[in-house]
A = this chain, B = another copy of it.
Amino acid sequence: MSMIAIVYFSATGNTHQMATAIAEGVQKAGQTAILLRITGEQIQEGRWSDADVMETLNAADAIVFGSPTYMGGVAAQFKAFIDAASEAWFAQQWKDKLAAGFTHSSSLSGDKQGTLIYLAVNAAQHAMIWVNAGDMPSHYLGKTDGVNRLGSFMGVMGQSPMASDDQEVTIDSGDRLTCVNFGERLANATAQWTPTSN
């Protein structure tokens, strides 16, 4: 059985709900998903550190990276994790693992494509294999389930209006379904991929 690690940051909870839905899809397809949530508390003087998270990532068959889109890019807290993972990069420990990405923001477009591209650029530095999203926008197919309603291809996008800090957030049902599908796609891709010890 493959293990897919989903490492992400979430402030208000939307990105967390996306992570949970992706994990659900992974499990539906018979693989194991582990959720790893990055927090501000793990950051000291701008530097992130958490040995357990790194160990789990090193052991994973695939890593899914997720962050809200803040000011046109990944959240600083998530970037702190990415920078700390340069240790794994220098040793190319994640080479040939599968990778994928997801993001959330409050606008329909909202520079989310740039965040997904950045996540793919980071995975490229790690010499990983990037699994793109697999669902066509459902409205192209005459469906109304909201799957890929935003038209995203490099990874999965979610969008919800800004919530006040004490409000419960709930992601869009179409976005949720897109995440579940993507989890299944990733689980299947992991099963189809036989990494060698290059």
Contacts and interface: CB of A to CB of B under 8 A. Distances in A.
Interface of A: 39-43, 45-48, 70-77, 79-80, 82-83, 85-86, 89, 92, 95-96, 105-114, 117-118, 120-134, 136-137, 139-140, 149-154, 157, 161-162, 185, 188-189, 192-196, 198
Copies in the complex: 4
Contact of A132 (B42, B129, B139, B189): B129
A120 B165 CA distance: 29
A151 B110 contact: yes
A18 to B, nearest CB: 15
Contacts of A154: 120-121, 124
A122 B76 contact: no
Contacts of A130: 120, 129-130, 132
Contact of A45 (B43, B105, B108, B128): B43
In this complex, the member of A118, A139, A188, A196 whose beta carbon has the largest number of chain B beta carbons within 10 angstroms is A118
B196 A193 contact: no
9 contacts: A40-B46, A46-B77, A71-B85, A108-B149, A109-B113, A109-B151, A113-B114, A117-B117, A121-B153
A181 B152 CA distance: 27
A71 B86 contact: yes
Given A73-B79, A120-B130, A124-B153, 13 more contacts: A47-B76, A48-B76, A72-B121, A72-B125, A106-B140, A109-B112, A114-B118, A120-B120, A126-B132, A129-B131, A134-B198, A192-B193, A192-B194
